[in-house]
Amino acid sequence: MPISGFPEWLPAQRIIEQRVIDRIRSTFELYGFAPLETRSVEPLETLLSKGETSKEVYLLHRLQAEADAKDDDQLGLHFDLTVPFARFVVENAGKLQFPFRRYQIQKVWRGERPQEGRYREFLQADIDVVNRDSLPFHYDTEMPLVIGDALGGLPIPRARILVNNRKVCEGFYRGLGLTDTDQVLRTVDKLDKIGPEKVAALLVETAGATDAQAAACLELAAISAEDGSFVDAVRKLGVSDPLLDEGLDELVRVVETAREHAPGLVAADLKIARGLDYYTGTVYETQLRGYERFGSVCSGGRYDNLASSGKERFPGVGISIGVSRMLGVLFGKQALTVSRSVPTCVLVALPHEDQRAACDRIAGALRRRGIPTEVAPAAAKFGKQIQYADRRGIPYVWFPGEPDTVKDIRSGEQVDADVTAWQPPDADLHPSVSGEPQ
Cα gap 270→169, rounded to integer Å: 8
Instruction: Decide if 417 is inside a domain.
Output: yes
Same domain? For 315 and 415 the reply is no
Cα gap 381→387, rounded to integer Å: 10
Same domain? For 304 and 358 the reply is no
Burial of 40 per CB tally in 10 Å (0-12, 13-18, 19+): middle
CATH for 428: 3.40.50.800
Of 128, 97, 106, the C-alpha closest to 302 is 128
Same domain? For 282 and 406 the reply is no
Same domain? For 189 and 302 the reply is yes
The CB-based long-range contact list for 364-371 (8 Å cut-off, 24+ gap) reads: 365/419, 365/420, 366/398, 366/419, 369/420, 369/423, 370/429, 371/345, 371/346, 371/423, 371/424, 371/429
Boundary of a domain, candidates 275, 310, 338: 338
Same domain? For 291 and 172 the reply is yes
Start-end of H helices in 123-210: 138-152, 166-176, 181-188, 191-194, 196-206
Same domain? For 309 and 354 the reply is no
Instruction: Decide if 385 is inside a domain.
Output: yes
Same domain? For 333 and 351 the reply is no
Q: Is the peptide bond before 403 cis (omega within 30 degrees of 0)?
A: yes
58 labeled binding residue: no
Instruction: Decide if 35 is inside a domain.
Output: yes
313 labeled binding residue: no
Same domain? For 25 and 138 the reply is yes
Same domain? For 297 and 370 the reply is no
**Cross-strand pairs, 115:** 118
Single-letter code of the amino acid located at 424: P
* Structural domains in the chain (count): 2
- Lay out the sheet containing 346-348: strands in order across: 373-375, 346-348, 396-399, 405-408, 414-416
Cα gap 116→185, rounded to integer Å: 26
DSSP 237-258: TT---HHHHHHHHHHHHHHHHH
Cα gap 66→59, rounded to integer Å: 16
Same domain? For 80 and 129 the reply is yes
The pTM for the full model equals 0.91
Boundary of a domain, candidates 338, 365, 385: 338
Instruction: Decide if 378 is inside a domain.
Output: yes
Instruction: Decide if 3 is inside a domain.
Output: no
Same domain? For 307 and 368 the reply is no
Same domain? For 274 and 369 the reply is no
Q: In which residue ranges of the chain is pLDDT below 50?
A: 438
110 labeled binding residue: yes
pLDDT digits (tens, 9 = 90+) for 141-187: 999 999 999 999 999 999 999 999 999 999 999 999 998 888 898 89
128 labeled binding residue: yes
Instruction: Decide if 6 is inside a domain.
Output: no
CATH for 23: 3.30.930.10
Cα gap 303→279, rounded to integer Å: 5
Boundary of a domain, candidates 338, 360, 388: 338
- Cα angle at 181 between 177 and 186, to 5 degrees? 140
120 labeled binding residue: no
8 A C-beta contact, residue 352 and residue 403 = no
Domain range enclosing 123? 11-338
Instruction: Decide if 127 is inside a domain.
Output: yes
178 labeled binding residue: no
In this prediction, residue 47 carries a pLDDT of 86
274 labeled binding residue: yes
Instruction: Decide if 84 is inside a domain.
Output: yes
Cα gap 306→167, rounded to integer Å: 16
pLDDT digits (tens, 9 = 90+) for 321-378: 999 999 999 999 999 999 999 999 999 999 999 999 999 999 999 999 999 999 999 9
